[in-house]
Structure 1
Amino acid sequence: MKRIKRLLIILVLLLVAGIGLVYLLSFYVERSTREKVYSSIEALPDAHTVIILGASVHSDGKLSPVLQDRVDTGLRIYKKGKAKRFLLSGDNREKDYDEVSAMRSYLLLRNVPPSHISTDPAGLNTYESMKRSSTEFDIPSAIVVTQAFHLPRTLFISNNLGLNYAGYPADAQKYRTETSLVYREKLANFKALYELFIRKSHKKQLKGNSLTLICKK
């Protein structure tokens, strides 16, 4: 009986420590990116591109409320002259699911010239979208548009990739699933750490090993 009680105490302590770590990391990510988040379009620095991150699209191609708010917000920034063009970054892994084409069509219907729109169908997640904006599209300066609960992690990733991007929240309404999305974001901060500091260094190591093997040959 004493052993069971001791085990339960240990489990409770581990649970409390785990929750504390989640909130501590979330606090650090938010604090380290706070200065990059702007609350008014007028205060935003001028940038080359508005980057709009993808979100759910309905089967008929209609944007979900989360994604529509992002695109509408990006459009307001563009019309205010704060950026010259768009990069739409999202998921197009499946033939019948295409976030970037849905966003592009939405902007074209609102008289944005096609030449002002670039699309990245390989922006499968936040890390890939931020990394590819630099490696594939060579964007010198950008304003990233997504919801406020998603901005800290997005800017934390871009900062640690050496990208000096600003962020603007697309919060036009309260979302039905917002509470679960907020908690998901807190956990996703650990994924960001893995992508930035573990996976990236592992790739560098593999690349270095490959070069060594080539030289030996």
Structure 2
Amino acid sequence: MKKLVKAGLWVGFCVVVLVLLCNWIVVDTTRNKVYFDLKSLPSTDVGLVLGTSKYVARGKENLFFRYRMEASALLYKEGKVKYLILSGNKEAETYDEPKAMKQALTQLGVPEDAMLLDTAGYRTYDSVVRCREVYGQERVTVISQNFHNARALYLAEHEGLDAIGFAAQDVPEGYSVRTLIREYLARPKAMLDVYVLKPEAGVRETQIFDFPKAAKAFGK
């Protein structure tokens, strides 16, 4: 029994070290690609806005969503991007992240013909790969919170997409510990996807996309 316990502890220790190592690699290799200052941010034609739910438990406002939309609108208004791909999950008519993002951005003054909805962005991996393979983009600005941008940029670098990231305003400390824990685990999974699994992005895709006039600007 003692040997089993000891072996279990060693396995657990190795798993923790591996997770921390993967996190360090993802963050360290992308830190120079994330911008916090609008003035120093290079301009690109397209911004890739990564989806999240508009509301959290009990119908409360999701600050990740709010700050992400405000950052996206700011980049558009300041001419840092010309078009926005809103990539997120559409599980049902009652849960549609891209549609919610479009509504929020419209209220913030972004015109509809500057937005394209990608409802097959089930995961960050899907959003990144589809940006290149489905929408034909080679260079984009990823818009999300800093912790999320690191993983998205790591995926982009290894999937042939030239990307930089703009860090939306972060949430207050302790706002969502679950989200941070999930991100720590998602980074090793991202490395697994890149080097081992190589899943097909958008395999559950159905042709339900809302292609506004902006699609013409993407050559579609």
TM-score range, shorter chain: 0.7 to 0.9
Offset of residue 98 of structure 1: 0.8
Percent identity, aligned pairs only?
A: 30
Q: Distance in 2 between matches of 1:31 and 1:8?
A: 34
Offset of residue 178 of structure 1: 2.7
For residues 65-121 of structure 1, give each alpha carbon's deviation from its aligned partner in whole angstroms, at most 9, with x where no partner exists.
211111101111111111111110011121211111111111112222211111101
Distance 1:115 1:184, change over 3 A: same
Q: Distance in 2 between matches of 1:14 and 1:88?
A: 40
| Structure (1/2) with the larger helix percentage | 1
Equivalent in the alignment of 2:195: 197
Counterparts of 1:28-107 in structure 2, within 5 Å, are 28-58=25-55, 64-107=62-105
Q: Is the 8 A contact 1:48 1:139 kept in 2?
A: no
Equivalent in the alignment of 1:213: none
Offset of residue 190 of structure 1: 2.3
Q: Is the 8 A contact 2:145 2:170 kept in 1?
A: no
Equivalent in the alignment of 1:179: 177
Equivalent in the alignment of 1:215: none
Q: Distance in 1 between matches of 2:200 and 2:74?
A: 40
Q: Once structures 1 and 2 are overlaid, which stretch shifts more, 110-119 or 157-166? A: 110-119
Matched, 1:123 2:124: no
Offset of residue 175 of structure 1: 6.1
Offset of residue 20 of structure 1: 0.8
Q: Distance in 2 between matches of 1:201 and 1:110?
A: 35
Q: Which has the larger radius of gyration?
A: 1
What TM-score does the superposition give when structure 2 sets the normalisation length? 0.83
For residues 8-40 of structure 1, give each alpha carbon's deviation from its aligned partner in whole angstroms, at most 9, with x where no partner exists.
222112111111111011001111111111121
Offset of residue 195 of structure 1: 2.1
Counterparts of 1:121-160 in structure 2, within 5 Å, are 121-160=119-158
**What residue identity is the alignment partner of 1:23?**
L
Structure 2 portions without partners, runs of 5+: 202-220
Equivalent in the alignment of 2:8: 11
Q: Distance in 2 between matches of 1:57 and 1:119?
A: 16
Count of matched residue positions in the alignment of Structure 1 and Structure 2: 200
Q: Distance in 2 between matches of 1:10 and 1:110?
A: 55
Partner SS state of residue 70, structure 1:
helix
Matched, 1:23 2:20: yes
Q: Is the 8 A contact 2:156 2:162 kept in 1?
A: yes
Partner SS state of residue 165, structure 1:
strand
Structure 1 portions without partners, runs of 5+: 204-217
Report the aligned-residue RMSD.
Answer: 2.3
Distance 1:140 1:48, change over 3 A: farther
Q: Is the 8 A contact 1:91 1:99 kept in 2?
A: yes
Offset of residue 6 of structure 1: 2.2
